[in-house]
């Protein structure tokens, strides 16, 4: 027999699954009082009904359209070493191509995400495991309620340089977010379009 606390969590997750299944049209998830890894407290709204594959294909097309003049502009705009920009551009291009190719050729990380998450007809993907709800989508809005301890980015590191290349291209996937929720208190279905999750 489950204790009351465990039963309540299971009921909440089942309720949440029903709400995801009932979403129609635009699938917006509003998460209130979410604490991120930087200890920031925030309210966010994400759209889960956007194809990540479509977004990645558009991003790849933008990346492939870059020429040497663009790389020079990126180096100048963000005060980066041109050789480092060229190196990271080539690595990023290879990675993006792998992630939008057929399943057999995709990266291990991309495969793992596809296999782990439950897929709903409305485009929402989520994972319920070990009393944790993991959900991802594209950030629509964000309001910081309490400041945290966000470190300064390393402007010489590979991640920083690749993100600047993505920023220059206007990557859709820059707005891609993953949220892990462990303290769900209530969830409300609004007009069959929005699930509101309070933490």
- Residue 99 near residue 107, CB atoms below 8 Å: yes
Q: Count CA within 13 A, CB hemisphere, residue 25.
A: 6
Dist. CA 51–CA 67, nearest whole Å: 27
Taking only the tens place, the pLDDT of each residue in 95-132 is 999 888 765 565 666 666 565 555 554 455 666 666 67
Q: Find how far residue 161's CA is from the centre of its chain.
A: 19
Residues in the chain: 199
Per-residue pLDDT tens digits for 34-88: 888 888 999 999 888 777 888 889 999 999 999 999 999 999 999 999 999 999 9
User: How confident is the prediction for the chain on average, in pLDDT?
Assistant: 79
- Phi, psi angles (nearest 5°) of residue 64: -70, -20
The DSSP 8-state label assigned to residue 25 in this structure reads: S
Can you give the pLDDT at residue 122?
Answer: 47
* Per-residue pLDDT, 67: 97
Q: What's the predicted TM-score (pTM) here?
A: 0.71
The torsion region of residue 158 among left (phi > 0), alpha (psi -120 to 50) and beta comes to alpha
Q: What does the buried/exposed string (b/e) look like for 2-21 if buried means 16 or more CB atoms within 10 Å of the residue's CB?
A: eeeeeeeeeebbeebeebbe
**17 Cα distance to chain centroid:** 20
Average pLDDT rounded to a whole number, residues 11-21: 67
65 three-class SS:
coil
For the chain, domain boundaries: 4-198
């Amino acid at each position: 027999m489950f204790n009351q606390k465990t039963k309540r969590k299971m009921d909440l997750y089942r309720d949440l699954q029903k709400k995801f299944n009932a979403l129609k049209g635009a699938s917006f998830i509003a998460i209130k009082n979410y604490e991120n890894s930087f200890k920031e407290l925030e309210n966010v709204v994400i759209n889960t009904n956007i194809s990540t594959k479509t977004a990645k294909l558009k991003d790849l097309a933008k990346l492939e359209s870059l020429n040497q003049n663009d790389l020079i502009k990126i180096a100048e705009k963000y005060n980066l070493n041109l050789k480092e920009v060229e190196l990271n551009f080539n690595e990023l291009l290879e990675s993006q191509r792998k992630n939008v190719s057929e399943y057999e050729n995709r990266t291990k990380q991309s495969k793992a995400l596809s296999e782990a998450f439950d897929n709903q007809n409305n485009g929402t993907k989520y994972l319920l495991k070990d009393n944790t709800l993991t959900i991802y989508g594209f950030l629509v809005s964000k309001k910081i309620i309490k400041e945290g301890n966000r470190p300064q980015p390393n402007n010489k590191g590979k991640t920083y340089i690749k993100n600047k290349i993505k920023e220059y291209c206007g990557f859709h996937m820059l707005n891609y977010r993953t949220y892990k929720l462990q303290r769900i208190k209530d969830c409300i279905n609004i007009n069959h379009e929005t699930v509101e999750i309070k933490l």
